[in-house]
Amino acid sequence: MVKTEVKKISSSKRELKITLPKEQVDTIREDQANRVRKEVELPGFRKGRAPLGMVKKRYASLIEAYTLEHALERSLIEAAEQENIEILGSPEAKEVDFDEEGNLVSQIEVETFPEIELKKYKGLELTRDIYVVTDKLVDENIKQLLKEHAIVTAIDGPVEEGHQLTVDMQELDETGVPIIGRKYDDVSFVVGEGRFDKDIELQLVGAKIGETKRVEKVYPEDFPQQEYAGKKELYDITVKTISKEEIPELTDEFVEELGDGSLKTVDDLKKRIRENLEQRYKLESESRLEEELIQKLLEENPFDVPRTMIDNYLDNMIKNARIKNPDLKEEDLRKHYEANAETMVKWFYLTKRISEEEKIEVTDEDIDKFLQENIEDEKKRELIKANKHQVQHLKDDLFYDKVKNFLFENSEIKENEIVLD
């Protein structure tokens, strides 16, 4: 039996000082000597038949390496069992030596499941944003919808304000020489809208397809960005396409042409857009509230998690993402998920620890109730219940909702009204 001294480094790291008795080390050494004997072939002897003493002498260093490897492995296994520590990853020994009595003494730092000391998870102060959808926002969304259904007509004549242009632009120096690296192809904008640059846009009025027009942009002396103040820019702009959008009128006929049988009138459309906006912003509000809950809980109940857990989480996220889209690069996905990985792993274990403290669990009755309330077809309900994977997935979702709702119910949530103009 090994002797173990445990030192707590953090909530998920332990330093083990393990002493494996000489008797066990000698037994392992003898086993490894016999192992080497079976593997080697010495002159004058058939494989595995050489005298053990000769093998020990000739292969002493190999036998000792095998002995140390297996002795460390056995030390760690026995220590973990005795101390009830579940080891994660593949730890390496920091120090290994034999003491004066021939016992093997090793010092190993291991990662294990986090030990979470709950400090504060009730009475948190949170803020729920209440978004107010205005008529103005509804109207803006309708304008965008009309624009999406606009009919685009190519124009043969000269550019007018309101026309949609596609142009190539070459920036010039003050003497009119093209600046290398300052050529921009297929730039699109509506003349006069100012989304590109209104001064430049309006100078193109009158130009025709294929025509190159030289325009200039002069920045005022009091321009906020000092590097541009008083500066003049020159461009040669070639008009490639000219078109005009014809925006449809908002009528009951337009609404019916959208193809949604439940929409008949303009009022129906406005009501639907308002409902969609309210639902979208409600989900955004709940998402922000949940993010604030997670952040504050982790601040109030600090603990660390092993890197092994974070890497496993990242590996699973990357695997799932690439199943959906094989063209995604693993390096890009890892960068994308890395920042959030530690938070999500901590959140998982914190909810688990809170559920233990508050005895929150999901019962078969909870699952039955959810299926009854959300799935009308009895056959579908039975198929789900017969699928262990689906049942477990549903159980995980219900568990998370239970813990989250418990935390919200035991928090102080104030409302913050935001009017969406």
User: φ, ψ for residue 215 (rounded to 5)?
Assistant: -125, 160
Q: Tokens 């291991």 map to which residue?
A: 110
329 found inside a domain: no
Number of domains in the chain: 3
Q: What is the pLDDT of residues 145-166, one digit of tens each?
A: 999 999 999 999 999 999 999 9
Nearest residue to 304 (alpha-carbon basis) of 350, 355, 335 = 350
Assess whether pLDDT exceeds 90 at residue 50: no
pLDDT at 22 exceeding the cut of 90: yes
The answer on pLDDT for 49 being more than 90 is no
Kindly state whether residues 227 and 275 are assigned to the same domain: no
pLDDT tens column, 196-222: 899 999 999 999 999 999 999 988 888
Q: In sequence order, which ranges of 266-329 are alpha helices (DSSP H)?
A: 266-300, 307-324
Q: How far is CA 378 from CA 148, 215, 381, 383, 389, in A?
A: 42, 71, 5, 9, 19
Residue 337 above 90 pLDDT?
no
- Residue range 241-264: average pLDDT? 93
Is residue 126 assigned to a domain?
no
Residue 338 has pLDDT above 90, yes or no: no
> Which residues does 256 contact at the CB level (< 8 Å), separation at least 6?
263, 264
Among candidate residues 92, 100, 34, 94, the one with its CA nearest the CA of residue 67: 34
Whether residues 170 and 69 share a domain: the answer is: no
Average pLDDT over every residue of 277-295: 96
Answer left, alpha or beta for residue 44, where phi above 0 means left and psi between -120 and 50 means alpha: left
SS3 assignment, position 25: helix
Does one domain contain both 9 and 73? yes
Measured CA to CA in angstroms, residue 92 lies from 69, 73, 110, 403, 404 at distances of 11, 10, 8, 37, 39
Q: Let me know if residue 130 belongs to a domain.
A: no
| Average pLDDT value for residue range 113-128 | 95
Domain that holds residue 73: 3-112
400 shares a domain with 285 = yes
Q: Give the least confident one: 72-76, 225-229, 412-416.
A: 225-229
Cα separation, 316 vs 310, whole angstroms = 10
pLDDT per position as a tens digit, 88-118: 888 888 899 999 899 999 999 999 999 999 9
| Long-range contact pairs involving 200-204 (C-beta distance under 8 Å, separation at least 24) | 200/235, 200/237, 202/161, 204/159, 204/165, 204/167, 204/237, 204/239
Q: What is the pLDDT of residue 1?
A: 85
272 and 403 share one domain: yes
pTM exceeds 0.75, yes or no: no
Judgement on whether residues 75 and 215 belong to the same structural domain of the protein:
no
Do 227 and 287 fall within a single domain? no
Cβ–Cβ under 8 Å, residues 125 and 411: yes
Classify residue 335: in a domain, yes or no: no
- Burial of 27 by CB count in 10 Å (0-12 exposed, 13-18 middle, 19+ buried)? middle
Q: What is the pLDDT of residue 336?
A: 86
CATH of the domain at 19: 3.30.70.1050
Mean pLDDT of the chain: 92
